[in-house]
């Protein structure tokens, strides 16, 4: 019988031979995953979440005192404690999704999209959907769940999956199918009503359709349909009409957007310091929709610029990562996911700068939120899964799914 090699402390070999195969396999899988994921993107996202924890710390007293009553007094850090719990759940969702192979990530996204479409329908059912401030956007399933937030990452993955069918048969009407899905989503969202999310979903749809090769004539038609949609919302949706009128007229001292703008500029370049801001105390939704203004007052415009740079860095990092992507589905899905995050941040910041009508939209990965925080982290997890790449494999320019310039299959106009 051959003798066992001597046991070396600290080695992967145990005192009685090799380490269990399962342990070695799991460790090797984690090492491979760590080498393949975009660690730069992960660190940028974690940096934004850290900024969010500090920002909610600053904004929590304003919202807690505003919502406190004689019978229920909320601690100044009430929303921070809740936010940290949601961030913890979000990190679990993020790393869980990031470890999925691309195929499983695609299946999970499509199944989630189907489930959340059903959720959008159930939201409108009496005694099932929960109405808050005149909008029916939540399901009460023991916990409050907002289907539209979880539909955001699933929407991009589902559209990318459908658009990728063109590789199998260029004659499939994939763009018509995606347009029909967008129409159904828009109808269900406006029935809640949720004009802001409808605009965001429409933007993601438009970006993905352009990337998939939407003919210029249809680009013009889509732009015209968007203008018509805004006009119809203005005529038949009172909340949208009031917000647009307020924006075009310049607002008053009592408008939320005007209060947010003055709060944002109240701290100057360097800010008043943590918990030293005073304008935030009169700001509604300081911990959610207008948290960017709280950052401006207490940490200064320089801190606001750093936040903007972080968002730009995330978008650019994903786009740079996709330059060498060979898989059509992964390219489309990752673009849609980062367009959703970047677009939502862009709209929220413009609202706080009084450059866009109020949308009731949170600042991604920074604002307080339950469904919003967890869903955004889940979307980042899908993004990390889809952009995984073996660093030791060079790109094959003749791989299936990549087309020379001008030869990609197109639909007939």
The pLDDT of residue 402 is: 44
If you average pLDDT over residues 106-129, what whole number do you get?
88
Residue 8 confidence (pLDDT) above 50: no
Tell me what pLDDT residue 409 has.
47
* Lowest-confidence segment of 56-60, 267-271, 375-379 by average pLDDT: 267-271
Q: Which tokens belong to 395?
A: 């790109």
Looking at the chain, the whole-number percentage of residues with pLDDT higher than 70 is: 78
Beta-bridged to residue 135, according to DSSP, are 132
Poorest-pLDDT segment among 25-29, 221-225, 310-314, 378-382: 221-225
pLDDT exceeds 50 at position 357: yes
d(CA 348, CA 134): 21
- Say if residue 150's pLDDT is above 90: yes
What's this model's pTM, rounded to 2 decimal places? 0.82
Higher pLDDT, 259 or 82: 82
**Domain spans in the chain, listed from the N-terminal domain onward:** 37-67+74-386
The predicted pLDDT at position 287 comes to: 87
Write down the pLDDT at residue 234: 66
By CB atoms closer than 10 A (0-12, 13-18, 19+), residue 253 is: exposed
Site of tokens 């919502």: 67
Render pLDDT for 184-206 as a digit per residue (tens, 0 to 9). Answer: 999 999 888 888 888 899 999 99
Strand-pair partners of 86:
none
More confidently predicted of 29 and 146: 146
pLDDT at 241: 65
């Amino acid at each position: 019988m051959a003798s066992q090699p001597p046991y070396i402390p600290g080695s992967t070999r145990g005192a009685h031979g090799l380490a269990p195969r399962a342990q070695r396999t799991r460790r090797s899988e984690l090492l491979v995953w760590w080498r393949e994921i975009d660690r730069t993107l992960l660190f940028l996202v974690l940096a934004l979440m850290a900024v969010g924890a500090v920002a909610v710390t600053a904004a929590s007293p304003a919202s807690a005192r505003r919502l406190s009553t004689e019978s229920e007094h909320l601690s100044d850090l009430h929303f921070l404690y809740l936010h940290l719990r949601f961030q913890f759940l979000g990190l679990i969702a993020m790393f869980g999704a990031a470890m999925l192979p691309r195929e499983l990530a695609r299946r999970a996204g499509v199944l989630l999209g189907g489930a959340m479409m059903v959720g959008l329908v159930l939201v409108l059912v009496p005694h099932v959907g929960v109405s808050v401030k005149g909008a029916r956007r939540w399901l009460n399933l023991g916990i409050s769940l907002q289907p539209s937030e979880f539909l955001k990452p699933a929407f991009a993955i589902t559209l990318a999956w459908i658009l990728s069918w063109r590789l199998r048969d260029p004659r499939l009407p994939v763009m018509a199918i995606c347009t029909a899905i967008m129409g159904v989503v828009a109808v269900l969202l406006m029935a809640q009503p949720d004009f802001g999310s409808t605009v965001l979903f429409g933007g993601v749809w438009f970006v993905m359709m352009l990337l998939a090769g939407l003919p210029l004539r249809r680009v013009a038609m889509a732009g015209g349909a968007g203008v018509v949609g805004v006009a119809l919302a203005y005529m038949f949706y009172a909340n949208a009409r009031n917000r647009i009128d307020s924006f075009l007229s310049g607002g008053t001292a009592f408008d939320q957007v005007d209060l947010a703008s003055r709060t944002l500029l109240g701290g100057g370049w360097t800010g008043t310091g943590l918990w030293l801001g005073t304008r935030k105390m009169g700001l509604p939704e300081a911990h959610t929709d207008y948290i960017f203004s709280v950052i401006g007052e207490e940490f200064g415009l320089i801190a606001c610029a750093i936040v903007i740079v972080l968002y730009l860095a995330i978008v650019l990092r994903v786009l740079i990562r996709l330059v060498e992507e060979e898989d059509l589905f992964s390219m489309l899905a990752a673009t849609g996911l980062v367009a959703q995050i970047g677009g939502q941040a862009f709209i929220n910041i413009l609202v706080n700068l009084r450059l866009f009508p109020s949308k009731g939209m949170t600042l991604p990965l920074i604002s307080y939120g339950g469904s919003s925080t967890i869903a955004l982290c889940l979307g980042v997890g899908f993004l990390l899964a889809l952009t995984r790449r073996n660093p030791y494999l060079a790109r094959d320019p003749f791989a299936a799914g990549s087309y020379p310039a001008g030869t990609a299959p197109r639909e007939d106009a």
